[in-house]
Amino acid sequence: MTAWRLPEGGLPVPTPPLTHGWILLRHWSAGDAASLSAAWSDPEIARRLPVPDDPTEARAAAWIAGEAERRRLGLAVDLAVVDVDDRVFGEVGLSSFDPDRSVALVGWWTAPGQRGRGVASAAVRLVTDWALGELGLGALVAEVDRDNAASLRVADRAGYRPLPDRPEGRVALVATSADRRGAAGRAPAGGC
């Protein structure tokens, strides 16, 4: 796999925003702080993902304010998943960029009231296609708890396949640009 180079000026946000018709992936904005704080306070999200100990609206606002700097430094691309009325339904994020291996980590969550409607599957498919296409990464890796059946299903629907070497208690799944090229012309794995 050839090395990947951080774009000049840092990590971009997809422009125009990625969309699947009824959901859209955009950068976080100051008005999302209450929605983000509520999501961080959800026990299931807090159990599965690293969230701040103090998931207050002020903390969420500070995290959102740091979004552009995290991209500039090449640390992360965090995208809000919103509906046609701009309500926050979830998040997808890329982090742990490894230019030498041309790989990054992908993570996601869906707000409690919006689960089971295909939000995460569509969002993960969109961000994966973008990262392995326009952004030029060779692979994305997702690390999912072995007992997180919904998330394993999301990864499957978004075209990820489990890696044989699995960290303890977690399943590592990968989507590669080579897989995507090989799948061209075949039907997508999910409804995205």
Ligand X SMILES: CC(C)(COP(=O)(O)OP(=O)(O)OC[C@H]1O[C@@H](n2cnc3c(N)ncnc32)[C@H](O)[C@@H]1OP(=O)(O)O)[C@@H](O)C(=O)NCCC(=O)NCCS
Interface mask (CB under 6 A) for ligand X, residues 83-102, using x and -? --------------------
Gap between the Cα atoms of 90 and 121, Å rounded:
11
Q: Decide if residue 108 touches ligand X (CB under 6 A).
A: yes
Nearest CB to ligand X, comparing residues 62 and 149: 149
Part of the chain binding ligand X (CB under 6 A), chosen from 7-15, 27-35, 44-52, 96-104: 44-52
- Out of 57, 115, 163, 189, the only residue in the binding site for ligand X (CB under 6 A) is 115
Nearest CB to ligand X, comparing residues 109 and 130: 109
Q: Which residues form the interface with ligand X (CB under 6 A)?
A: 44-45, 48-49, 107-110, 115-121, 144, 148-151, 153-154, 157
